[in-house]
């Protein structure tokens, strides 16, 4: 009864505070997008062209399509920070490639990782590539990523670069992080490179002494190296893919582990080598220090008190590396984290604000606080600064999402919840791109008409039609269980099967579709992520002065609920429903969505294992199939942006990342409806389409 009274009283104070705030300062829940000059550069969103790059790609002009955004809308999306703090901003501007004087952030080098080059503008004075931005947190400037880094695409044809707002990026985030760590290490170790680096950083005026610069140089080298170590995968990602959920999961696990669990792990015989080892492990250990003793474990933990209780919780493995041997670190890493070994294509963003469920397997409910929670999870994954810690007492945010108790968890972070809300509102205006016939060639209307009939028979059961410009449109995700659609299962399985230590979240309740889940010592990481993101959203921004902090907090929560027109609803389709025995069963499915704009989103399937739409209409070659048949390619190159308007997808050039469909999580099987290999949702398997029929269907897909 006491708790209930406190909560009701808090609600009244909250509503009163919000009312006064709204009347007194007129807080806007949307985003302000300033006008830009009527210059050719501005109208082209300050996009830079490329004569010829590493892949042989060339485009001398940039074209934008009508997607409902004006130039100022695109630029706002590119340059609006979300709280991503990868490394000090001055470091990013001054860092050189190892062994070269060329800046790491140069257009040529960033384009190699497939981040789109930009010219300088008022909102981007240092001409950072699309999706890279300066963020300020606690008085310090950082380089970080915006949504646009992963969700802005481009295809090239006959020297024209077609920018696709909200389209999937071709970016290689895995290797740019690995190479950033190498560049920082080289700078620290090479005297001449270090001297140039320190001079450039000091000239910018944010660091006072060389010692301060070198201290942070070592810190961020280890920080980014630790990130790449924790997230090392047996399946290379290459271009156009990322296991974002796997990496978000690991950042959550890194920041919720507490001293009790860490102490148990460091005493664990599996980590301390008190177990039967292989000959190779024994040989490796003999070259290293001996396993830590019980006394040494206690000494390590006493030195690491801040790692468990304050800002130094960030980058746990970075701290432990100072005390443990490499093999011990590897074993501890396996005990704490899960391998992010299910890379998927970057999702395209048009219609995302109108969806009921989002992500490839519908893991995120788009109702209520869902969109802000989803975006908060994304910032956690792209280097939001996280200072989560246990404290005594209660607060209004903790009452909302943690319940009563003597201990609360503070979820201070750099996550800019207000901007995340603005970004989500901004995306409501984004429409899918329409095939530009003046660039890519005319659509054959007769073939497309025949293809429309085939689409209704073969595709429409999962991929409904939608009016791309209707402001009241709703997108219903049609879920199909993995065993039925037959595509690679790794991503879906990881989403519900991965477990982790609940740490500071232990004994909290997480609301799932079938009821509340009480977090045990180990819990599904999906549940831990849900609880963490809700609490981050409910925590006032620690980087703002008191009045603004609570004003923005109130507005963010109220507008997130009141402005989101998506209500909670049951999932649609053929999938295994959630039960109290298996509360995450529905995640073992993949989503079918409307295909408007699908022509601009290659490569295809959730894991990017099929290069073009034409290949998607072909079957996978299986044992016993004739060699002279036409099949999906087992290998192809990814990286080039050159477009193939005949097959509708990206060309496979001589250079780039070799996508091998035999590697784990890379299977290109499944979704073979047009080839008569996959049954429709009603259980009927339709006859294989002829080549002419496939080309008709392909022509219709261009019209969507």
SS3 534: helix
For residue 496, the surrounding DSSP H or E stretch is: helix 490-497
User: What are the pLDDT digits (tens) for 449-496?
Assistant: 999 999 999 999 999 999 999 988 999 999 999 999 999 999 999 999
54-71 average pLDDT score: 93
Place of tokens 């989103």: 601
> Above 50 in pLDDT, residue 16?
no
Report d(CA 179, CA 453) in Å as an integer.
Answer: 49
Report how far residue 600's alpha carbon sits from residue 348's, in angstroms, rounded to the nearest whole number: 9
- Give the H or E element holding residue 245: helix 244-256
Close Cβ partners of 170 (under 8 Å, ≥ 6 residues apart): 114, 153, 154, 239, 240, 638, 639, 641
Query: Which residue is it, tokens 């093999």?
Result: 327
Q: What is the pLDDT of residues 560-583, one digit of tens each?
A: 777 778 888 999 999 999 999 999
329-360 pLDDT, tens digit each:
888 888 999 999 999 999 999 999 999 999 99
The Cα–Cα gap between 254 and 120 comes to: 37
pLDDT in tens, 485-508: 999 999 999 999 999 999 999 988
d(CA 353, CA 57): 33
The number of residues in the chain equals: 704
Strand ranges for 368-454 from DSSP E: 386-392, 407-413
CA–CA dist 581, 518 (Å, integer): 14
* Backbone angles phi and psi of 573, in degrees to 5: 120, -170
d(CA 421, CA 29): 8
Question: What's 423's DSSP letter?
Answer: H
pLDDT value of position 401? 66
**Alpha-helical runs (H) found in 410-469:** 417-427, 437-440, 445-458
Name the residue among 468, 489, 703 with its Cα closest to residue 605.
489
User: What global pTM score does this model have?
Assistant: 0.90
**Burial class (CB within 10 angstroms; exposed 0-12, middle 13-18, buried 19+) of 700:** buried
3-class DSSP state of 388: strand
* Alpha-carbon gap, residue 28 to 14, rounded angstroms: 18
Where is average pLDDT lowest: 535-544, 556-565, 601-610?
A: 556-565
* Structure tokens belonging to residue 649: 């997808």
The pLDDT assigned to 48 comes to 94
Beta bridge partners of 208: none
What the block records as the tokens of 168 is 């999937």
Structure confidence by residue, pLDDT tens digits, 608-621:
999 999 999 999 99
Summarize pLDDT for 211-221 with one digit per residue, the tens: 999 999 999 99
Asked if 505 and 409 touch (Cβ cutoff 8 Å), the reply is: yes
| Structure-model confidence comparison of residues 298 and 484, the more confident one | 484
Chain mean pLDDT for the chain: 87
End-to-end, the C-alpha distance of the chain in Å comes to 57
CA distances from 224 to 96, 181, 409, 490, 653 (A): 16, 6, 26, 26, 31
Nearest to 3 by CA among 280, 285, 437, 400: 400
Q: Which of 361, 350, 299 is nearest to 324 (CA)?
A: 299
Alpha-carbon separation of residue 326 from 55, 179, 266, 319, 329 (angstroms) = 37, 21, 14, 13, 5
Q: Does the bond joining 603 to the residue before it have cis omega, within 30 degrees of 0?
A: yes
Q: How far apart are CA 529 and CA 322, in angstroms?
A: 28
Q: Are 382 and 143 in contact (CB under 8 A)?
A: no
Instruction: Give the whole-angstrom CA distance, residue 372 versus residue 179.
Output: 31
| Beta strands, E only, 204-329 | 241-242
Sign of the Cα torsion 118, 119, 122, 128 reads: positive
CB 595 within 8 A of CB 701: yes
């Amino acid at each position: 009864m006491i708790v209930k009274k406190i909560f009701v009283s808090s609600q009244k104070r909250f509503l009163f505070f919000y009312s006064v705030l709204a009347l007194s300062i007129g807080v806007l829940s949307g985003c302000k997008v300033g006008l830009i000059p009527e210059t050719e550069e501005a109208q082209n969103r300050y996009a830079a062209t490329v004569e010829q790059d590493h892949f042989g790609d060339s485009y001398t002009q940039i074209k934008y399509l009508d997607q409902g955004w004006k130039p100022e809308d695109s630029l706002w999306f590119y340059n609006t920070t979300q709280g991503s703090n990868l490394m000090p901003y001055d470091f990013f501007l001054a860092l050189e490639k190892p062994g070269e004087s060329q800046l790491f952030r140069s257009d040529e080098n960033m384009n190699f990782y497939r981040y789109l080059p930009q010219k300088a503008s008022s909102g981007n004075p240092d001409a950072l590539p699309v999706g890279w931005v300066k963020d300020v947190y606690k008085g310090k400037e950082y380089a970080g990523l915006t949504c646009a880094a992963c969700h802005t695409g481009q295809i090239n044809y006959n020297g024209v670069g077609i920018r696709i707002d909200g389209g999937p990026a071709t970016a290689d985030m895995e290797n740019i992080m690995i190479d950033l760590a190498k560049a920082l290490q080289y700078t620290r170790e090479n005297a001449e490179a270090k001297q140039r680096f320190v001079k450039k950083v000091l000239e910018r005026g944010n660091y006072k002494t060389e010692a301060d610069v070198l201290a942070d140089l070592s810190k961020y080298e280890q920080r980014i190296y630790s990130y790449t170590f924790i997230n090392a995968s047996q399946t290379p990602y290459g271009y156009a893919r990322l296991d974002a959920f796997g990496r978000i999961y690991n950042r959550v696990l890194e920041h919720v582990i507490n001293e009790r669990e860490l102490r148990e792990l460091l005493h664990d015989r599996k980590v301390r080598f008190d177990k039967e080892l292989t000959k190779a492990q024994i040989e490796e250990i003999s070259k290293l220090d001996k396993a830590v003793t019980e006394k040494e474990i206690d000494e390590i933990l006493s030195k690491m008190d801040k790692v468990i209780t304050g800002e130094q919780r960030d980058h746990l493995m970075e701290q432990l590396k100072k005390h443990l041997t490499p093999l011990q670190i590897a074993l501890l890493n396996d005990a704490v984290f899960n391998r992010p070994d299910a890379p998927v294509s970057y999702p395209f963003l048009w219609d995302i604000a109108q969806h009921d469920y989002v992500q490839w397997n519908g893991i995120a409910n788009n109702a209520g606080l869902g969109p802000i929670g989803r975006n908060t999870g994304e910032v956690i994954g792209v280097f939001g600064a996280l200072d989560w810690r246990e404290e005594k007492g209660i607060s209004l945010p903790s009452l909302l999402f943690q319940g009563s108790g003597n201990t609360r968890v503070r979820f201070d972070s750099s996550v800019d919840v207000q901007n995340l809300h603005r970004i989500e509102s901004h995306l409501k205006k984004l429409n899918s791109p329409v095939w530009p016939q003046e660039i890519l060639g005319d659509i054959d209307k007769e073939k497309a008409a025949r293809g429309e009939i085939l689409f209704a028979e073969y595709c429409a059961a999962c991929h409904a039609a939608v009016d791309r410009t209707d402001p009241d449109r709703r997108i219903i995700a049609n879920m199909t269980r993995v065993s039925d659609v037959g595509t690679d299962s790794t991503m879906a399985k990881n989403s519900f099967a991965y477990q982790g230590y609940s740490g500071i979240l232990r004994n909290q309740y997480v609301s799932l579709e079938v009821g509340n889940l009480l977090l045990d010592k180990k819990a599904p990481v999906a549940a831990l992520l849900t609880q963490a993101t809700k609490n981050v959203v409910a925590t006032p921004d620690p980087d703002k002065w008191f009045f603004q902090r609570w004003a923005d907090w109130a507005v963010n929560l109220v507008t997130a609920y009141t402005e989101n027109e998506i209500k909670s609803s049951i999932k649609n389709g053929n999938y295994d429903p959630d039960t109290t025995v298996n509360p995450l069963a529905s995640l073992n499915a993949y989503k079918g969505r409307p295909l408007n704009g699908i022509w601009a989103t290659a490569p295809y399937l959730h894991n990017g294992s099929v290069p073009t739409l034409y290949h998607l209409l072909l079957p996978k070659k299986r044992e016993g199939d004739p060699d002279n048949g036409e099949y999906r390619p087992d290998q192809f190159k990814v990286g080039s942006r050159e477009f193939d308007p005949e097959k509708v997808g990206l060309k496979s050039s001589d250079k780039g990342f070799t996508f091998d469909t035999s590697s784990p999580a890379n299977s290109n099987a499944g979704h073979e409806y047009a080839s008569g290999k996959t049954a429709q949702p009603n259980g009927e398997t339709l006859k294989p389409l002829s080549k002419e029929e496939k080309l008709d269907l392909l022509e219709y897909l261009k019209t969507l």
